[in-house]
Amino acid sequence: MTDVPGGLPETITKYRRAIARQMEDYVCRRDGPLHEMIRYHMGFEEGANSPGLQGKVLRPSLLLFTAEGFGVNWRKALPAAVSLELVHNFSLVHDDIQDDDYLRRGRKSVQAKWGAKQAINAGDGIRDLSTLALVELADSTDPGLTLNAMETLGTYSLEMISGQVRDLQFTDRAEITMEDYLGMIDKKTCALLKASLHLGGLYAGVDQETVKRLKAIGRYLGYVFQIRDDWLGIWGEQEQFGKSVGSDLQERKRSFPVVYALGRPSGEELEKFEEIYFSDGDLSGGEIDRVRKLLEELGAREGTNDWAGRYWKQAKEELAKIDMKDWAKTDLRNFGKYLLTRQR
């Protein structure tokens, strides 16, 4: 068990090789310009300099971990893990269009290379591959289980998309309460983490009560993940984080620290913050620095971490109540510590 804050714990890394191999094998079965875009996004380029599978592959790893944590062979759930990671990746390609992001995991985003219109196709293609992977890689002796997984994953994917709809609505509205924000994140980010644990449990054949608890843990992990992500978007190190630090502020996003600050009692700092953040026109570099400083003075830097810590505590309470192997509970606790302190 590698327990390095900022580094991925072995809980996650131990499945990476199998996931990467299966994904590369599956994604590279098809040719042509659509699949060239998809392969680029996934990191499976042609030639010796191919970067290899991109991203932390948290979701499929959590899925396999959950299955194994209930004592079943995690390889049985590999088709669902591949399918889930592809759903996540389709959403990233479309997110980059919707957020005008040109940098993804330290490389040009698909829309930066091929334009937004073709990036729509790339995302659509990845979504279809996710469905096909689940059918084509699955054990054909249990079609009922595969269909059950398909319905589960599709339901969470739809939930994620509805969260993305709400997120885009937020940029048009000045008043976003903490409740609005958490409701949006529960769909946009938590949906696929709930899917990870739910699907892992499904392949392990756990009972309905356990599924409910797994979904709750997934939700809390999602909150911790997203709240930390928002924190890193303001106070992260560009090189480590990979995404553009400060662009959330530039775009005046209602990220967690901003929503937190807007909920503070009124005062000089809050007024100043609102004056700059809700002004017209682009924010200058100096204004972004000023906004970041004001957020700190409003307690948003620590407050954001505190909230993440509270959700993690709730996850641990649910974890204590389920019948998972002891090693798995220990591993999941280490994973939580990583989520709370990650730098990228």
What residues numbered 67-126 form the site for a second copy, per CB under 8 A? 90, 94, 97-98, 117-118, 120-121, 123-125
Q: What Rg do the C-alpha atoms of the chain give, in angstroms? A: 20
- Residue 235, CA distances (Å) to 7, 34, 262 in order: 18, 36, 18
Segment near a second copy (CB under 8 A), from 17-25, 33-41, 50-58, 282-290? Answer: 33-41
Smallest gap from residue 245 Cβ to a second copy (A): 23
Cβ–Cβ under 8 Å, residues 324 and 70: yes
What does DSSP assign to residue 281?
S
Q: Which residues of 93-119 are buried (b: 16+ CB within 10 A; e: fewer)?
A: bbbbbebebeebbeeebbbeebeeeeb
Closest CB to a second copy among 145 and 270? 145
Q: Which of 206, 194, 167, 243 is nearest to 321 (CA)?
A: 206
Cβ–Cβ under 8 Å, residues 276 and 293: no
DSSP 30-53: --SHHHHHHHHHHT--SSTT---S
Closest CB to a second copy among 123 and 242? 123
Q: How far is CA 183 from the centre of its chain?
A: 16
Q: Does 127 bind a second copy (CB under 8 A)?
A: yes
Could you give the string, one character per residue 261-300, with x where binding to a second copy holds by CB under 8 A and - elsewhere? ----------------------------------------
Closest CB to a second copy among 158 and 320? 158
Single-letter amino acid code for the residue at 200:
G
Segment near a second copy (CB under 8 A), from 129-137, 285-293, 306-314, 321-329? Answer: 129-137
Segment near a second copy (CB under 8 A), from 16-24, 28-36, 68-76, 240-248? Answer: 28-36
Q: Does 252 bind a second copy (CB under 8 A)?
A: no
What residues numbered 135-164 form the site for a second copy, per CB under 8 A? 135-136, 138, 140, 143-144, 146-147, 150-151, 154-155, 157-158, 161-162, 164
Token couple for 333: 């606790």
Q: Which residues pair with 103 in a beta bridge?
A: 108
Query: How many residues of this chain bind a second copy (CB under 8 A)?
Result: 43
Residues at the interface with a second copy (CB under 8 A): 30, 32-35, 37, 90, 94, 97-98, 117-118, 120-121, 123-125, 127-129, 131-132, 135-136, 138, 140, 143-144, 146-147, 150-151, 154-155, 157-158, 161-162, 164-166, 168-169
